[in-house]
Structure formats: structure tokens, C-alpha cells
Amino acid sequence: MAPVALEGSGEAEFPVLGIDSGAIERNAARIVDRVDPDVVGVTKGVCGDPRVARAMLAGGAAGIADSRVANVVGLREALQCDLLLLRAPMGTECSAVVENATWSMESEAATLRALSAISTDREVVHRVLVAIDVGDRREGVLPEEFDELLEAAIDLPGVEVSGLATHVGSFGGVVPTRENVGRLVELVERAEERLGRRLAVVSGGSTNALGLAFEGDLPGQVTQLRVGEGILLGTDPVTGEAIPGLETDAIELVAEVIECKRKPSLPEGERSRDAFGQEPAFADRGVRRRAILALGRLDCAIGELTPLREGVEVIGASSDHTVVDVADAGSVEVGDTLAFRPGYAALARAAAAPSVAVAVG
């Protein structure tokens, strides 16, 4: 359990994400020990927090990756390590990318041209990983269009194609397999033949590709995996289960009780949609003791919170309030706090919310 955010009372600022940097370091080290490719720690789930990045690096991560340019800038100010930008930059961000990122993942010739112009003007070379869509239908050039983009990149001064990268799962829910990652490998061979040199980086996926790596099914040409959720939460996004050997209690979200009363479990009166356009359903459980937390959907993905106190049940939430049933949870009073284990979406949203403090210990 994260020692920096224990359930109870006190003068601390709430809501707060408590992050155990020791557990982060140990998870990183265990993953590094189990896979052959370099492990790049992904910090987008904690909004690019440099303290968490340092723990990943201490555990053996070969570098740090993040999807937001602002986070990469903050990481560069705090750290001297390789930094990978995961999401292609907007035009206004290209200057910051050249200045701060070691590599960026790119799939558009227009963006490559913008990076080239800035790099040439500064007399530097920006390294890119060409993003390949092998089936998930999010970012990346389709394999049949790869040669055209590669040719465009080769002719650009100030830009070096250092590798290829792919990702599946986050958008289309596609499961990484030896076959779809193998499509990336086929393009690596073509790119190396055209460039006349070896590619330094073949980035074969994220945490959801760890299963392939653990089973020995990841193609040997893959040199890098980008791992966030596995290090932060110790869970596999493909199965939703804990990854054996990893710690799943590195992070807690703690919120304060601002109301606690006995109320009927069913709303009264004519009903329509809630504030988020949904039609919530409730079971009639009679009158129950319920607590309201100073935490809402603007702060967190409430549906991904697992209560750490026995007897606490999350009933629902609006923008700024979360309602929990505490009838079977013992003594709960106004001013007390309740702790939860966040899923990845809950963690990422909470870390980015200005109203949620982050304590790293």
C-alpha cells in the first residue's frame, strides 16, 4: 500500500494520488529483467511527473515516453535521458519537439516537413520513428503506404528515420499477436534495405505486448517496448488482470467525505438523463447510509475506482460529487477519508486534474 496516501484523517490536501516510488522502481526492474527489448517507461498516466520518471529510470528503464509535448518539456527540464514523444505534434508544437524530444513518432509528411524546417534552421537533426498502423486504426501509416512516406522522409534535411513503431489496443482493442507485430518487422527489413543501414529502434508496442514478450513470442527484431500501465499499476490492459510478479498497490486515490447521511437508495420523482446524458439505474435496497466524496467525474473515471475499505461501494457520480454506500463499512463521518485503487483511466484523469494533488514518496 502506498505509504503517502493512507486512509484516515489529517491536514493533508485531498483528493490526492499517493504514489509509492519504491514500488514503481521495483515494477520497472522486474519487467526489465524479464524482457529482452529495452523498456521505455511511459509517464502519460501520471501526467509526465518527473518523480515517477526517476523511479522508472532507477528501475532500469532505458528512457521515458509521454504523449503530451508539455509533459516532454517538463521532463526535459528535470531529467537528462532519452525522451520519446508518443503523439505526433501539432504544428505549433514542432519547435518544442525538436528542442526537447530525442525521438518523436510520426506518420504525416506535412509534420515531417515542419520538423525538417525547424531542425535545419537550428542546424540539428531530429530523429523520428515512423508510426505504422498494423490494425488498431489509430495513428500510423498503413503498410501499403509506408514506402511513399519513407521516401519523403529520406529527402528531408534535418530529419533522420531512426526506427519504426507500432501500437495496438488503445483504440480498436486489437490484441497484439506475433502476426500483427510481424507486419512491423517486415517493414523494418524494407526500410533498412532502402536506407542502407540498420534501424536503431524497432518499438514493438506497449504494456499490452508484454504478454508476447514474456511468452517468447515477440519477434526478435523488436528492440523496444513502451511500458506505462504495467509499471504504474502492475496490470495487463489486454486481460485487465494483475501481471504475476508485479506490485498492484503502488498508487492510491484518497478523497474526503463531505456528507454522510441515511437516505433512500432509490431517487424520488420523475426521472430523465443525468448530467452526463446517461440514464442511471438503481436497485431498491431500502434506506442506506451514504457518503459523498469531494471528487467527481471531472477529476476521475469514477467507474474504475476499487474501494480499499471493506463494505464501501461506489454508487455513482456527477461532475463534482461521488456517492458511496458505507452502510457496511463501519464508522464513516464527515472529514474522514476513503482510499481507492484506480484503474488506468481513473489514474490518468486524476493525475491531469488540477483539483487532485499528487504525493510521491
Handedness of CA 55, 60, 66, 70 (dihedral sign): positive
CA–CA separation, 48 vs 358, rounded Å?
12
User: In 10 A of CB 20, how many CB atoms?
Assistant: 22
* Residue located via cell numbers 488503445: 170
Report how far apart the first and last C-alpha atoms of the chain are (Å, whole number).
12
261 a catalytic residue? no
DSSP tag of 175: P
User: In 10 A of CB 361, how many CB atoms?
Assistant: 12
Q: Which three cell numbers stand for residue 68?
A: 503530451
Q: How many residues does the chain have?
A: 361
CA–CA separation, 48 vs 52, rounded Å?
8
Q: Are 85 and 60 in contact (CB under 8 A)?
A: no
CA–CA separation, 94 vs 144, rounded Å?
27
Q: Are 37 and 13 in contact (CB under 8 A)?
A: no
CA R_g for the chain: 23
Cα separation values, 13 from 197, 250, 256, 301, Å: 54, 19, 9, 20
Cβ neighbours of residue 269 closer than 8 Å, sequence gap 6 or more: none
Catalytic-role residue among 26, 30, 44, 226: 44
CA–CA separation, 168 vs 133, rounded Å?
8
Q: Are 296 and 320 in contact (CB under 8 A)?
A: yes
Torsion of CA 192, 198, 199, 201, to 10 degrees: 140
Q: Are 103 and 129 in contact (CB under 8 A)?
A: yes
In terms of Cβ atoms closer than 10 Å to its own Cβ (0-12, 13-18, 19+), residue 262 is: exposed
Catalytic residues, by residue number, are: 44
